[in-house]
């Protein structure tokens, strides 16, 4: 996608409107590849506006909701909170391009992609 858009450098990508969608696709693909069929990944959207970028349904019945934001100060939209109310996940987090992890609220943590992959690898 980046080549088709003529984006040759990281700096060009950072200034392009495709950045968020590109990051989201990269994170979803990375997590899906790490699952090794131990969980079913899917996108969630309800007519009410509830939405989650990625939901993982583990063989154990555990459910994780994952939001993906290319931001070092991510804001959780009402749709994510509504999806959490609808699906009642056991874990919920936001994958950011940061190297750190920090709580966004009492139920949701911001994590790096390597941390998310580690969590997926350790699950079930």
Does the residue 98 lie in any domain?
A: yes
Does the residue 12 lie in any domain?
A: no
CATH code for position 95: 3.40.1350.10
The residue with tokens 């495709």 is 18
Does the residue 1 lie in any domain?
A: no
Does the residue 9 lie in any domain?
A: no
Three-class SS state of 112: strand
Whether the pLDDT of residue 12 is over 70: the answer is no
Q: Are 27 and 113 in contact (CB under 8 A)?
A: yes
Domains in the chain, number? 1
Does the residue 101 lie in any domain?
A: yes
Which domain covers residue 50, as residue numbers? 19-122
Does the residue 2 lie in any domain?
A: no
Closest to 21 measured CA to CA, from 59, 91, 65, 68: 68
Does the residue 14 lie in any domain?
A: no
Q: What Rg value do the Cα atoms of the chain yield, rounded?
A: 15
Q: Cβ–Cβ contacts within 10 Å for residue 31, how many?
A: 22
Whether the pLDDT of residue 39 is over 70: the answer is yes
80-113 pLDDT per residue, tens = 999 999 999 999 999 999 999 999 999 999 999 9
Closest to 66 measured CA to CA, from 39, 98, 38, 89: 89
């Amino acid at each position: 996608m980046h080549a088709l858009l003529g984006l040759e450098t990281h700096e060009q990508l950072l200034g392009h409107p495709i950045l968020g969608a590109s990051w989201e696709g990269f994170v979803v693909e990375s997590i899906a590849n790490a699952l090794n069929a131990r969980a079913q990944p899917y996108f969630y959207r309800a007519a009410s506006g509830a939405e989650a970028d990625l939901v993982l349904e583990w063989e154990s019945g555990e459910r994780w909701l994952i939001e993906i934001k290319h931001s070092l100060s991510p804001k959780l939209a009402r749709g994510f909170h509504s999806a959490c109310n609808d699906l009642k996940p056991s874990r919920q987090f936001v994958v950011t391009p940061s190297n750190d992890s920090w709580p966004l609220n009492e139920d949701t943590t911001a994590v790096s992609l390597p941390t998310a992959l580690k969590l997926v690898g350790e699950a079930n």
